[in-house]
Structure 1
Amino acid sequence: MSGPQAPPRILAIHAHPDDLELQCAGTLALLKKRGCPVVMATMTPGDCGSAELGPDEIAAVRREEARRSAEMLGAEYVCLEFRDLSICVDNDSRRRVTEIIRKTRPDLVITAPPVDYMSDHEMTSRLVRDACFNASCPNYLTQQWDPAPATEKIPHLYYVDPIEGVDWYGQPVPHDFVLDISETFEFKLEMLACHESQRAWLRKQHGLDEYLDGCRRWSSKRGAEIGVEYGEAFRQHRGHPYPGDNLLQELIAG
């Protein structure tokens, strides 16, 4: 007779430090409450995210901010060390992302949406989708140092909202479901507040100083769709041969 089943392992991977906090930290906090091990990964260290510091200096700052945020959650933080504004879909990139899938061995992956306002997000989405498929193919070699073995299965794959929920033309992007994050929303803001350098960058580059308030407004809008205070929206990748049952929603529902 077998013992209790281990909680599913979660890999959340997006382009830059703070992307995960903005788009799905409330859900990650709920998953941690349900006993799921969580790895938070970023493709880059945010090396273009400053008007004052050089790339190496700001990258060091933003890695530490991401590490502190993940530590608050009790999650592991990993950076794949791509460079800002330079992520592209090629074989070397696929191998690097496949290796992180094999090393973390997730049951469920949350990543960037296929359509968003910038290329780094869209390239991340494509590479993660490919890596989830490639990771279970034993003959696909990542050519990385000390490679992990192939995974046993293709994980459940989910995409977060694009920024403001729209495509390049400002038209709404469909989502499959919204999760109620009301109980973890304030904690989500605390994680996001770890990224102080990004708030300063947005003030300088985009004329925005509503880092936390903007997050609150968008989460409130998504929550209103299902009659709760705060929510986060997701779309599931159900194409062949990815799993089609909604594991994420089942986990949050208990």
Structure 2
Amino acid sequence: MASSTLTTRRVALAFLAHPDDAEILCAGTLLRLAKLGWETHIATATPGDCGSASLPPEEIAKIRRAEGVAAARVLGATYHCLEERDVNVVFEKETNRKAIDLFRRVAPSLVFTHPRHDYMLDHEQVHQLARSAAFGFPIPNASPLPLLAGSTIPWLYYCDPIEGSDPYSGELVKPSVRIDISEQIDRKSEMLACHASQREWLRSHHGMDEYIESMKRHSKQRGTELGTEYAEAFIQHRGHPFPQTDILHELLGGKLERWDVQ
């Protein structure tokens, strides 16, 4: 394969479970890619219809869709939603079809999604949907939608689980690459602040406040590991036939772990 920096399509897609997931997990890296001229997209499986202790599902979903659009606008990105429902995301035929069609329309060359193990099953199910769509969307017969020029299996990266902790072992996940987002932390915080409805929800259900400060604390932890102020961490999917070069490291630098020997 030619150098990954020469990819014909420069389109990044963050495909995650809920509005605000991208802003917590990978918005700093998306901001850096956008600065390099990459087209950026944020997609969620659900509109966040369970994200309130007081509002009915469609009312809070309408609010959270608008928050997703507003946050994406800070980045200069397009927001998409599969319109599945919170705590009901399942890897099955119809949802898989919607994910493949989304990827077909966007034709990403770089994808961010949830890790295989995370604190809630919506995230773990989206992990499977993203893997399926990333592999399947370039197959001509996989979707009735037109196949855009340059469509190919994209680079695929898994974001940190929430708080960077494996929910089964409790141990901090070891990433394959960390990306310095020190210069982007204010705009990342601005994007997360667009999700104002979630402050009261997180206080009510999760027992936590100041979700922006929580994001910063984890970003600072990853930054300390990198030797910078703030960072985001990822694990690259290396399975056949996904790209094996580390495009994030090539484009943005960052500390490698197990791939230092390359």
Consecutive unaligned residues in structure 2, runs of 5 or more: 1-5, 255-262
**Which residue of 45, 49, 52 maps to 2:51?**
49
- What residue identity is the alignment partner of 1:219? S
Equivalent residue for 1:158? 157
Indicate conservation of the 8 Å contact 1:88/1:123, yes or no.
yes
Task: Determine the structure 1 residue equivalent to 2:174.
Answer: 174
Structure 1 unaligned runs (5+)? none
- Cα deviation 1:153-194 (Å, max 9, x = unaligned): 111100100011112231222210110000001110010000
- State the shift of 1:90 in Å: 1.0
For residue 245 of structure 2, what is the aligned residue in structure 1?
Answer: 245
Q: Offset of 1:6 from its aligned partner?
A: 5.9
CA offset digits 1:43-72 (Å, max 9, x no partner):
100000001110000000000001000001
Partner residue of 2:80 out of 68, 78, 81: 78
The letter of the residue matching 1:248 is: L
User: How far 1:252 sits from its partner (Å)?
Assistant: 1.5
TM-superposed deviation, 1:7: 6.1
Give the residue type in structure 2 aligned to 1:186.
Answer: D
Residue type matched to 1:190 in 2? E
CA contact (8 A) 2:11 2:109 kept: yes
Corresponding letter in the other structure for 1:162 = P
| Deviation larger for 11-20 or 148-157 | 148-157
Partners of 2:207 and 2:164 in 1: CA distance: 21
The alignment-based identity, stated in percent, is 49
Q: Which residue of 2 aligns with 1:216?
A: 216
Superposition map of 1:1-254 within 5 A: 8-141=10-143, 147-149=145-147, 152-169=151-168, 170-253=170-253
The equivalent residue for 2:257 is: none
Tell me, yes or no, if the aligned pair for 1:108 and 1:248 is still in contact at 8 Å.
no
TM-score (norm 2): 0.90
Q: 1:132 to 1:221 in 2, by over 3 A?
A: same
Task: Please list the CA deviations of residues 23-60 of structure 1 after superposition, one character each: whole Å capped at 9, or x if unmatched.
Answer: 01111111111110001111100000001110000000
Q: Which amino acid aligns with 2:107?
A: R
Please give the root-mean-square deviation of Cα atoms over the aligned residues, in Å: 1.7
Give the paired residue count.
247
User: In structure 2, how many angstroms separate the alpha carbons of the residues matched to 1:78 and 1:153?
Assistant: 21
1: CA distance, partners of 2:71 / 2:253? 25
For residues 198 and 166 of structure 2, what CA distance do their matches in structure 1 show? 23
- Distance across 2 between alignment mates of 1:199 and 1:14: 19
Deviations along 1:99-155, one digit per CA (max 9) or x if unpaired, are 11110011111111111000000000111001111112222246xxxx233773111
The SS at the match of 1:139 is helix
What TM-score do the two structures reach when normalised by structure 1? 0.93
Query: Cα distance, 1:248 vs. partner?
Result: 1.8
